[in-house]
C-alpha cells in the first residue's frame, strides 16, 4: 500500500471528508512477514533462535541475568532506505522478560527491559549460543513497505470520527498491514487506553504480537512496542530503547 492508494480508498469511503486531515498524519511503515521455508543464514533477519554478533562477543545481561534473544534485523534486506532507518548494519534485540525484580517480573515499560546491539559492519560475525538455555525456535523474516495511520483516538489529536466512522477507519487501517509485526508506523496494542509512545521525541521502532511458537507472551498475550528517540536513530545509537506492552 502506498500514499496514493490509501488516499483513493479514503476518498471512496464514508470518511472522505477527513481525507486532508488523514493525509497529514500518514507515516511510513514496514510489515514483517515470516518465511518459514527459508533456512536461517549468518547475518540474516530473523525472529528467535540465537543472535549473530561480532566474534568473541559475550551474551548481554541485565543485573547479571542473561537477556533473552528477541530477533535481529539486517537493514540491507529492507528495500527502501529513505524511512529513517540505517541503510546497512545488523540490529540485535534482546528482552528481559525472564528477569525478576523484588516484586516479580521486570515490566515492559521499565528501563532495561529491551537491549539493542547495533553492528555497523557484518563481516566478522558468529552465532552466539544462549547461556544455560535452549536455543528455541527461529524463523527468517522478510520486509514489505507500507504506510500507517494512528491506531486509535489516543494517538491522534482532536479525533474526528464518531462510532460508525471509527469502524470504517479501523477497517481501513487494518487493510494497510499484512502482519501485526512491523517497523515504524504507529504502535498498536490490545488493551491500552493511552498513547504508549514515551514522548514527542520518540518514535516507534518495532511492534510485535505475542506468539506461542516463539514463546512470546507480552502482557498476557498482547503486543510489545519498542521505541527509540529520533536523534538517536539518526546517529545509529540503539543503546537506549524504551518499550511498553498491552
Residue 8 domain-assigned (yes or no)? no
Residue 170 domain-assigned (yes or no)? no
Residue 109 domain-assigned (yes or no)? yes
198 has a pLDDT exceeding 90: yes
Band of residue 142 on the pLDDT scale cut at 50, 70, 90:
very high
Q: Domain count of the chain? A: 1
Express each pLDDT in 144-197 by its tens digit: 999 999 999 999 888 899 889 999 999 999 999 999 999 999 999 999 999 999
Residue 111 domain-assigned (yes or no)? yes
pLDDT at position 81, please? 60
Express each pLDDT in 201-234 by its tens digit: 999 999 999 999 999 999 889 999 999 999 999 9
Express each pLDDT in 161-170 by its tens digit: 988 999 999 9
Residue 167 domain-assigned (yes or no)? no
Residue 1 domain-assigned (yes or no)? no
Q: How far apart are CA 62 and CA 44, in angstroms?
A: 25
CA nearest neighbour of 180 among 53, 29, 17: 29
pLDDT at position 100, please? 55
pLDDT at position 28, please? 95
Question: How would you class 202 by CB atoms within 10 Å of its CB: exposed for 0-12, middle for 13-18, buried for 19 or more?
Answer: middle
Residue 19 domain-assigned (yes or no)? no
Higher pLDDT, 135 or 12: 12
Looking at every residue in the chain, the average pLDDT score rounds to 92
CATH number for the domain harbouring residue 208: 2.30.320.10
pLDDT at position 104, please? 53
CA nearest neighbour of 205 among 98, 106, 78: 78
Torsion of CA 119, 207, 245, 229, to 10 degrees: 50
pLDDT at position 76, please? 95
Residue 21 domain-assigned (yes or no)? no
- Domain holding 210, by residue range, is 29-147+179-245
Amino acid at each position: 500500500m502506498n500514499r496514493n492508494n490509501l488516499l483513493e480508498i479514503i476518498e471512496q469511503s464514508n470518511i472522505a471528508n477527513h481525507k486532508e486531515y488523514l493525509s497529514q498524519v500518514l507515516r511510513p511503515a514496514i510489515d514483517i512477514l515470516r518465511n518459514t521455508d527459508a533456512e536461517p543464514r549468518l547475518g540474516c533477519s530473523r525472529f528467535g533462535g540465537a543472535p549473530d554478533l561480532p566474534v568473541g562477543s559475550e551474551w548481554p545481561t541485565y543485573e547479571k541475568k542473561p537477556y533473552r534473544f528477541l530477533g535481529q534485523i539486517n537493514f540491507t534486506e529492507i528495500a527502501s532506505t529513505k524511512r529513517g532507518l540505517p541503510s546497512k548494519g545488523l540490529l540485535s534485540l534482546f528482552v528481559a522478560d525472564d528477569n525478576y525484580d523484588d516484586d516479580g517480573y521486570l515490566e515492559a515499560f521499565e528501563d532495561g527491559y529491551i537491549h539493542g546491539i547495533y553492528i555497523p559492519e557484518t563481516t566478522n560475525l558468529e552465532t552466539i549460543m544462549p547461556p544455560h538455555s535452549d536455543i528455541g525456535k527461529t524463523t527468517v523474516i522478510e520486509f514489505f513497505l507500507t504506510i500507517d495511520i494512528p491506531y486509535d483516538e489516543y494517538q491522534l489529536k482532536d479525533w474526528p470520527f464518531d462510532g460508525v466512522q471509527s469502524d470504517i477507519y479501523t477497517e481501513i487501517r487494518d487493510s494497510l498491514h499484512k502482519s501485526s509485526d512491523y517497523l515504524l508506523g504507529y504502535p498498536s496494542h490490545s488493551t491500552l487506553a493511552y498513547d504508549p509512545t514515551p514522548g514527542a521525541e520518540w518514535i516507534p521502532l518495532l511492534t510485535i504480537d505475542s506468539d506461542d511458537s516463539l514463546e512470546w507472551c507480552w502482557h498476557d498475550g498482547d503486543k510489545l512496542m519498542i521505541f527509540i528517540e529520533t536523534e538517536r536513530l539518526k546517529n545509529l545509537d540503539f543503546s537506549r530503547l524504551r518499550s511498553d506492552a498491552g
